[in-house]
Amino acid sequence: MFETLKAQPADKILALMQMFRDDPRTDKIDLGVGVYRNADGITPVMRAVKAAEHRLWETQDTKAYTGLLGDPAYADAMIGLILGDAVPRAAIAAAATPGGTGACRQAFEMIRMANPSARVFVSDPTWPNHISILNYLGIEAVPYRYFDSETRGVDFDGMISDLKKAAPGDVVLLHGCCHNPTGANLNPVQWQEVIAVLNATGAVPMIDIAYQGFGDGLEADAAGTRTVAAGVPECLIAASCSKNFGVYRERTGLLMAIAADTGRQGLNQGTLAFLNRQNYSFPPDHGARVVTTILNDADLRADWAAELEDVRLSMLGLRRQLADELQRLAGSDRFAFIGDHRGMFSRLGASPALVEKLRQDHGIYMVGDSRLNIAGLNAKTVPILADAIIRAGV
Ligand code: PLP
Ligand code: TYF
């Protein structure tokens, strides 16, 4: 039967990662896959994660199954981190999932169960996995304008006019912060306008938040998500701990479904448990338990937040250095957007041919849409990148 299978398109980001590994040049620079790396190019295990794992090793006395939704303490801790008290706890159903990808997948399945003809509006561009999972599930993905290739900021007028085309029963997928792949984000006033459009159209928002703490800080990065969740009747939130806890391979995510009234919370909770059971029964536990241990212990939490803040500030410093260096070399501020973008990524706005030229001539690897991972840089490689960008004629 397997002879009927067709080759599937590779994930371009992961293929680039392999290409980088195979490149023998010693001065190559990896600005591809979205993984945080420090100035030495290492993705460290965070101090609080090590401490929590040590504590778990000493105290954990069983690895028997958790519940279908994961440990309720994990959901409580994550809801506190992401939503604060923006929404009554009793309105929120939540399920632990394998990473933020698992949360997105379960959210899309829940949408399809609730409304088989739902369309999901996605930013143009968005994280490629959003579109590939939607396609796989047979859900129509409708792009809305987002990135202005002139200003490299948000094309907000285009976004709003496209979102007005959503209808009740449709879903609008928004990035909570640190937009992937562009780095361009909404400001607080724009979030309010998006909420007004959601309420006018009756479309349900789904927020993917995978980089809380990587942009303007833990609280500021959650602000958009909190105002949306508080300002609409129903909302889905897919969260990832991969980046802000550095637990990528542990597969640690959470899906939240906020009900219009607390009476419907139980049904949502049952739906999430059902979907977990259909796909993998019990979600992974180790990463979730580490995260819970950290968030529920004042000292570990403070240490985690401090290390995350150092990570954030190091990326911000690299952004500023790159923007300044480009300004010096270009003699103009046409690259100032790099300093304005937030999170791990910036979209340079270079053509695929130029991205290819940077790879071939300079060993600089960025994703084909000219997304660069700021955390792949350090103080020494920023001037090398800036010089290559100017010489390539970006
Ligand atoms: N959503 C966005 C926008 C992402 O960039 C990522 C990638 O890290 C994820 C979700 C999912 O991450 P993971 O499944 O590794 O938690
Ligand atoms: O966009 C990125 O680089 C990260 C990591 O299939 C990633 O979100 C990339 C591809 C993928 C899963 C995660």
Asked if 223 is an active-site residue, the reply is: no
What is the pLDDT, as a whole number, of residue 113?
98
Catalytic residue among 51, 93, 127, 141: 127
Bridge partners of residue 235, in order along the sequence: 258
What is the pLDDT, as a whole number, of residue 54?
98
Ligand 1 site, residue 20, Cβ cutoff 6 A: no
Indicate if the pLDDT at residue 339 is higher than 90: yes
Ligand 1 site, residue 370, Cβ cutoff 6 A: no
Q: How confident is the model at residue 202 (pLDDT cuts 50, 70, 90)?
A: very high
| Residue bearing the CA closest to ligand 1, atom 1 | 210
Measured in Å, residue 32 CA sits from the centre of ligand 2 at 9
Indicate if the pLDDT at residue 272 is higher than 90: yes
Distance CA 129, CA 66 (A): 28
- What proportion of the chain, given as a percentage, has pLDDT over 70? 100
Instruction: Write out pLDDT tens, residues 213-242.
Output: 999 999 999 999 999 999 999 999 999 999
Structure pTM?
Answer: 0.97
Pocket test for ligand 1, best of 33, 101, 252 (most atoms within 8 A of CB): 101
Asked if 127 is an active-site residue, the reply is: yes
Ligand 2 site, residue 344, Cβ cutoff 6 A: no
Asked if 155 is an active-site residue, the reply is: no
Bridge partners of residue 205, in order along the sequence: 172
Listed in sequence order, the residues at least 6 apart from 89 whose beta carbon sits closer than 8 Å to its beta carbon are: 76, 79
Indicate if the pLDDT at residue 29 is higher than 90: yes
What is the pLDDT, as a whole number, of residue 393?
87
Ligand 1 site, residue 284, Cβ cutoff 6 A: no
Indicate if the pLDDT at residue 102 is higher than 90: yes
Indicate if the pLDDT at residue 190 is higher than 90: yes
Ligand 2 site, residue 23, Cβ cutoff 6 A: no
Extents of the domains making up the chain: 2-45+301-392, 65-296
Q: Are 21 and 32 in contact (CB under 8 A)?
A: no
Give the chain's mean pLDDT: 97
Please report where in the chains the tokens 């990065």 appear, as a residue.
221
Indicate if the pLDDT at residue 249 is higher than 90: yes
Ligand 2 site, residue 242, Cβ cutoff 6 A: no
Indicate if the pLDDT at residue 146 is higher than 90: yes
| Residue bearing the CA closest to ligand 1, atom 10 | 100
Residues 328-340 have a mean pLDDT of: 95
Residues 319-334 have a mean pLDDT of: 96
What is the pLDDT, as a whole number, of residue 394?
85
Asked if 157 is an active-site residue, the reply is: no
Indicate if the pLDDT at residue 139 is higher than 90: yes
Nearest to 185 by CA among 60, 296, 327, 340: 340
Q: Are 386 and 326 in contact (CB under 8 A)?
A: yes
Alpha helices in 209-264 (DSSP H): 218-231
Catalytic residue among 93, 96, 210, 257: 210
Which ligand ends up closest to the CA of 105?
Answer: 1
What is the pLDDT, as a whole number, of residue 372?
96
* Ligand 1 atom showing the smallest separation from residue 248 Cα: 15
Q: How confident is the model at residue 53 (pLDDT cuts 50, 70, 90)?
A: very high
What is the pLDDT, as a whole number, of residue 318?
97
Distance CA 286, CA 264 (A): 30
Q: How confident is the model at residue 268 (pLDDT cuts 50, 70, 90)?
A: very high
CATH architecture of 2-45+301-392: Alpha-Beta Complex (3.90)
Distance CA 171, CA 27 (A): 45
The CATH code of the domain at 65-296 is 3.40.640.10
Nearest to 291 by CA among 22, 49, 23: 49
